[in-house]
Structure 1
Amino acid sequence: MTVQITSQGRELVLKTIEEMKKDLKVLREEKNIAYTLCGDTWHDNPHFNKLEQDEKIMDKRIQEIEKTLSLAEFVEIGSRDTEKVALGSIVLCLCEYPEFTEEEVYEIVGYGESNIDENKLYYDSPVAKNLLGLKAGERATFETPVGEASYKILKMYDGWESVKG
C-alpha cells in the first residue's frame, strides 16, 4: 500500500529509522556478549534467545519502514485547504459520544507524523478517514469502541497560529 507523506513526515521517519538502527546496534552488542558468556549452551540460554528474537523483530520493522518510505507518495502542503478536510487540514470538531461531548482541534497528517498528544491524526486513521472531504457544518457519524460517535466540523483553520490566536 502506498502512503502519503509530507517532507516533515519524511524527516520524522528518517529520524525514527536512525534511532532504531542505533538501538539495533546496541541489541546486537548485547547479543554478542550473551553468546560469549554462554558458550556452547547459547541455544539453551533464554536471555540470548530473547535478544535474538528482539533483533529479528527490530530488523524486520526497520526494513518495513524503509520499504514504506521508498514507495511513499510525497505531498507538499503549501496552503491548507479551508474549504474541505484534506491532508494538512486543521479542523475544529464538535465530538459527540454516548457519554460526553467535547470540542477538539485536529490536524490531518501524513505517514509518520501522527501524534495524539498534539492532536495530529494520520489521514488513514478511523477518525480522519471519516472527516476527509467534509466541509464546515457537515457531520460524520461512525462506530467507535465506546459506541456511536458524531463529529461535526465547526471551523477550519489555515494554520496553528489561527487556532491559538
Structure 2
Amino acid sequence: MEVKVTPTGVRLIQQNIESLKSDLKYIREEKNIAYTLCGDTWHDNPHFNKLEQDEKLLNKRIQEVEKILASAVQVELDKRDTETVQLGSIVRCFCEYPDFEEEEIYEIVGYGESNLEENKLFYDSPVAKNLIGLSVGQEASFETPGGRTVYRIIEMYSDWEEAKSKQV
C-alpha cells in the first residue's frame, strides 16, 4: 500500500523515530547494567531477558517506521480543496449514529498525523475512506460495530481558523 504523508506528517514521524531511538538507548543502558550485575548468569535473569526482548522489538519498530518514511509519497497541501473531500480537507459533518446525532469537524490527514482528540482522521481510516470524494450536501452511509452510520458533509473550510470561527 502506498503511504501518503504531508510535511507535518514527515516532521511527526521523524520525531517519533527520535523518541523510539531515545527509548532504545535507555533500554540498552539498562541492559548493560543488568548484564554487569548478573555476570555469567545473565541468561537466567528475567529482567535482562525482558530488556533484550524490548530491545529487539524497538529495533524492529524503528526499522519499520524508517522504511515507511523512506517509501512514503509526500503530498504538499499548498491550498486545501473546498469542493471535494480529499487528503488535507477540513469538513463539517452531520453525523447520524444509531443512538444519537452530532456535528463534528474533521481534518483528513496523512500517515503519522491522526489524532482523534484533535479530530484528525487518517485518510485510510473507515470514516475518512467514506468521506473522500464527497462534496458539500453529499452523504456516506456505512456499517460500524454500533450499527449503520450516516455522515453528511455540511461545509468545507480552507483552514482551521475559518472552521473555528464558524463553529456554532
TM-score for the superposition, normalised by structure 2: 0.95
The corresponding residue for 2:53 is 53
Helix, strand or coil at the partner of 1:33: helix
Aligned AA for 2:3? V
The alpha-carbon deviation at position 65 of structure 1 amounts to 0.3
Which runs of structure 1 show a deviation greater than 6 angstroms over 4 or more consecutive aligned residues?
A: none
Helix, strand or coil at the partner of 1:133: coil
The corresponding residue for 2:66 is 66
The alpha-carbon deviation at position 149 of structure 1 amounts to 1.0
Q: Which runs of 5+ in 2 are unaligned?
A: none
Superposed, 1:1-165 pairs within 5 Å as: 1-165=1-165
The alpha-carbon deviation at position 160 of structure 1 amounts to 0.6
TM-score for the superposition, normalised by structure 1: 0.97
Aligned AA for 1:106? Y
Tell me the percent identity.
66
Aligned residues: 165
Helix, strand or coil at the partner of 2:108: strand
1:35-75 C-alpha deviation (Å, 9 max, x unpaired): 11112221121111111111111110010000000000010
Q: Is the 8 A contact 1:96 1:149 kept in 2?
A: yes
Q: Distance in 2 between matches of 1:48 and 1:126?
A: 41
Helix, strand or coil at the partner of 1:155: strand
Q: Which runs of 5+ in 1 are unaligned?
A: none
Q: CA RMSD in A?
A: 0.8
Q: Distance in 2 between matches of 1:37 and 1:13?
A: 36
Helix, strand or coil at the partner of 2:136: coil
Q: Is the 8 A contact 1:2 1:68 kept in 2?
A: no
The alpha-carbon deviation at position 90 of structure 1 amounts to 0.2
